[in-house]
Amino acid sequence: MSTIIKAKQYLLNNYATWGPVNLNYDTPEATFKYNELEYDLSDANLLKPGEILVESIHLSNDPAQKGWFKSNKDSYLPPSPLGKPAPARGVGKVLKSNNDKYKEGDFVQAHLGWTTHSIFNADEKLTSKLDLSKVSKLSQFLSVFGSTTLTAYVAAYKYSELTPKDTDRVFLVSGAAGAVGSVLVQILAKDFKPKKVLAIAGGADKVKFVESLGPNVIGIDYKSSTYEEDFAKALGDDKIDVFFDQVAGEILDHASQYLKTFGKIVQIGAISGYNDPTKSYFKNYAASILHKRLRIQGFVVIDDFKDSAKIIAHLEELFQNGTLDKSKFHETIVDATGDNFVKIPELWTGLFTGTNKGKFITTVAKGYD
């Protein structure tokens, strides 16, 4: 049996700009560059102390990667190095280890990057060993127990400053059909017993999807020409207690007018401007904050990773007592195994064109779930 592993990767070739990533690989300006390399498993010096060789299985598609592809010095993470695999979180299998904490055959979650195989020091990179007894399939470490679920969790239970006793509230969630949004809608609808959750999503199918996530959820299609009328009808005479916004731009600007006085905006994301900053300008937003004395809370979930074990324990309790339904943690999985690996960047751009319902995952290795 050959001891040579052929790895495929997409390297970060140029930092991304405010516009869409450049996928014109024939030009030197392309954001990514395809690369192949070989690892020889029989090489006794393949791994330095602390290092592991990991086969990537599932890669997470996150809008935040657009920021990680940039050289932005003000970001919450240091710029990713050019010439290395484009940054991406993922789950994989340890093929070889020179680290006491990991052995061959272990499954791990780490910042693997856009590569089929990688060697890294597991003590230096944010790496965790996965307990397969917690899931029915490996991809659930990116969906049910992934950082998008943690994000939804802390948005609801921590940054909103609500408690599940605060019933009869009106919530608004934008980006509701995505990974964070669909979990958040479920948590709010089922554990906070609100009067209603208005859930903004793109298209009739996604409106139906968000309405299936819990009771008292009213989906609103932001792509419809009657969006503002539909929004007004869904809200009725009510005002919004907390707006969980992931989109910013026009959706935030418009909705900010419908919060209660002293209402709250939890700013989770701003996806409408990630490829086009001109979408981030406001007409009503500042006046709404002022006149309604709104409170705005932004956050970055990495600050809450330290509480992951506690959060997961609470989620498991909510699964067990039936408050949350694991089967409603939807995944959209696309295939980049074998020759399809070259499609990875193009598949990733689907984040911005509505490809996914729930967690968007790219599979790069065959033979797992």
Ligand X SMILES: NC(=O)c1ccc[n+]([C@@H]2O[C@H](COP(=O)([O-])OP(=O)(O)OC[C@H]3O[C@@H](n4cnc5c(N)ncnc54)[C@H](OP(=O)(O)O)[C@@H]3O)[C@@H](O)[C@H]2O)c1
Binding stretches for ligand X (CB under 6 A) = 62-64, 148, 151, 175, 177-181, 201-202, 206, 222, 246-247, 251, 268-272, 299-301, 351-352, 354, 356, 360
CB nearer to ligand X: give 178 or 214: 178
CB nearer to ligand X: give 39 or 348: 348
CB nearer to ligand X: give 138 or 142: 142
Give least dist CB 293 to ligand X, A: 24
CB nearer to ligand X: give 11 or 247: 247
CB nearer to ligand X: give 7 or 251: 251
Give least dist CB 97 to ligand X, A: 30
Give least dist CB 234 to ligand X, A: 16
CB nearer to ligand X: give 61 or 116: 61
- With left for phi above 0 and alpha for psi between -120 and 50, is residue 94 left, alpha or beta? beta
Give least dist CB 210 to ligand X, A: 9
Give least dist CB 202 to ligand X, A: 3
Give least dist CB 193 to ligand X, A: 24
Give least dist CB 80 to ligand X, A: 16
CB nearer to ligand X: give 52 or 351: 351
